Amino acid sequence: MEPRLTAPPPDDWIGPLDRADRTGGPIHARIVAALEDAVARGVLRPGERLPTQRALAGRLGVDLTTVTRAYNEARHRGLIDAVTGRGSFIAGGAAFSAPAMDLSMNMPPPPHGMKLGELIERGLSGLLARSNADVLMAYHVGPGAPQDRLAAARWLEPTLGPVSTSRLMVLPGAQGALASLLSLLTRPGDTLLAERETYPGLIAAAARLGVKVAGVACDGEGLRPDALLAACHAGTARLLYLQPALQNPTTATMGAQRRAEIARIARARNLTMIEDDPYSRLMDAPLAAFATLLPEATYHVATLAKTLTPGLRTAYVAVPEGQTTDALAQAMRALALMPAPLMTALATRWISTGTATHLLGAIRHEARARQEMARALLPEGAIAAPEGLHVWQKLPAHWDRGRLTAAARRRGLAVTPADAFCVEGTPSPALRLSLGAVADRARLGEALAALAALIGGTAD
């Protein structure tokens, strides 16, 4: 679009920066946020010319480099365009609308001191040197090749202890595993018990299959035993889904006594359990899994998406003792046929060569560093675990979840409100903040500081 030359825009967007308390986050970030807010309110329109960097620096009494950094960030977000010799203009269309800093997608951070691309390249080169490419690219149906299930047993041993490969199955990610399990264990109209705020993928899979999810009340340690008993008395549910470690979204981890109580109730009430455990390998000392406390009735799901990388699309399921994987393999075949053989083989190679363990260690290190940063920057109400990938941020009373999410988006921040996780009732006044998707710590720090300033301000 050809920028139209106009008079400098009114002071509406600059004025608050003149008057602002400069303790509310980096000045360059506040400039970018003010630009986004002015565009969202229609104060600045596409094609309008901005003050020169030197003029704005003088107006605000800041270094020229501060304004240069702000304008560069605004260009990076697609908010403004620069025309050589003519100045900077508000960009046309909605190019700025997509948040530039993603705190909504829960994934492991870039591994500290390692380059994922190089690991993939070396892993595939070694794999192709020792494997037949035609076999790798063919159909692989069933529970998984022997070497892949052996790798699964090795990966799961810190949480499950020794487990027979005959109980293990390879599936295309946790979502594929959950959908396959629900299709196997439920019928339309059935009720599934789960934490009141739980993984959105479980909610979506249940809705697709016509299964009702009944929320069970939780506390700081996860699922409450008394609430589980009440839910069992109130209905006919025979299936329980939970995340016992670093729960998504609340970050709660069940202690050993709580796990034993839940396992006792599940056994007494004849419940089958789906233990979704994406995060335990991030912990230095994982607690006993339900697959070891209630082995006869627990399906244990462990994905590599949260501990290594989502791109592997690989998850492992341990079926209950005394069962085979045949029924689950049939359910998966109907939904997804098979995991991607190449990605499965790469995951197996990484586990067998020790690369996966080194990668996990680097991700643990980076996750802890990011949690320390979040602890220092986020306001009161942030709940997190030192080894986790996300934060459960409680909101002050004056902020509505939806309005805050929209206000954050206007400032280039994507966050996830509690609504996405709530099974029933009124969602908690909270956001889930994921710390892994932003590429580097410096930008993450900017994002967290900007969000903290927004939460500490007044509602839009």
Q: DSSP secondary structure string, 1-38?
A: -PPPP-PPPPTTTTHHHHHS-TTSS-HHHHHHHHHHHH
Q: What is the mean pLDDT of residues 127-156?
A: 92
Q: Which CATH number fits domain 140-341: 3.40.640.10, 3.30.930.10, 3.90.79.10, 3.40.50.1360?
A: 3.40.640.10
In this structure, CATH architecture of domain 15-90: Orthogonal Bundle (1.10)
414 vs 243, 377, 390, 432, 434, CA distance in Å? 24, 17, 13, 10, 10
CB distance 436 to 370 below 8 Å: yes
Task: Give the position of tokens 């002015």.
Answer: 38
pLDDT of the residue at 131: 86
The domains of the chain are located at: 15-90, 140-341
Long-range contacts of 182-189 (CB under 8 A, 24+ apart): 182/206, 182/209, 182/211, 183/209, 183/331, 183/334, 183/335, 184/327, 184/328, 184/331, 185/239, 185/272, 185/274, 185/299, 186/211, 186/239
Pull the structure tokens for residue 95. 């190019």
Distance CA 282, CA 160 (A): 15
Calculate the average pLDDT of the chain. 90
pLDDT of the residue at 96: 41
Distance CA 105, CA 415 (A): 8
Distance CA 26, CA 265 (A): 51
Going by pLDDT thresholds of 50, 70 and 90, the confidence category of residue 12 is: low
Question: pLDDT for 436-453, tens place per residue?
Answer: 999 889 999 999 999 999
Whether residue 29 has pLDDT greater than 60: yes
Question: pLDDT for 294-317, tens place per residue?
Answer: 999 999 999 999 999 999 999 999
What percentage of the chain carries pLDDT values higher than 90?
Answer: 69
Going by pLDDT thresholds of 50, 70 and 90, the confidence category of residue 9 is: very low
pLDDT of the residue at 158: 96
Distance CA 202, CA 219 (A): 20
If one counts every other C-beta atom within 10 angstroms of the C-beta of residue 275, the result is 24
CB distance 183 to 305 below 8 Å: no
If one counts every other C-beta atom within 10 angstroms of the C-beta of residue 214, the result is 15
3-state secondary structure of 318: strand
Pull the structure tokens for residue 370. 């990011």
* Cα-trace Rg, the chain: 25
Q: What is the mean pLDDT of residues 235-258?
A: 97
Going by pLDDT thresholds of 50, 70 and 90, the confidence category of residue 458 is: low
3-state secondary structure of 381: coil
Distance CA 211, CA 191 (A): 6
CB distance 294 to 266 below 8 Å: yes
Sign of the Cα pseudo-torsion (24, 26, 30, 31, in order): positive
Of 110, 133, 118, the closest CA to residue 345 belongs to: 133
In terms of phi and psi (left: phi > 0; alpha: psi -120 to 50; beta: otherwise), the region of 369 is: alpha
In terms of phi and psi (left: phi > 0; alpha: psi -120 to 50; beta: otherwise), the region of 421 is: alpha
> What is the distance in angstroms between the CA of the first residue and the CA of the last residue of the chain?
31
Cα angle, residue 415 at apex, residues 37 and 444 outer, rounded to 5°: 85
Cα angle, residue 400 at apex, residues 395 and 406 outer, rounded to 5°: 105
Question: pLDDT for 336-383, tens place per residue?
Answer: 999 999 999 999 999 999 999 999 999 999 999 999 999 999 999 999
Report whether the peptide linkage leading into residue 386 is cis, meaning its omega lies within 30 degrees of zero.
no
pLDDT of the residue at 302: 98
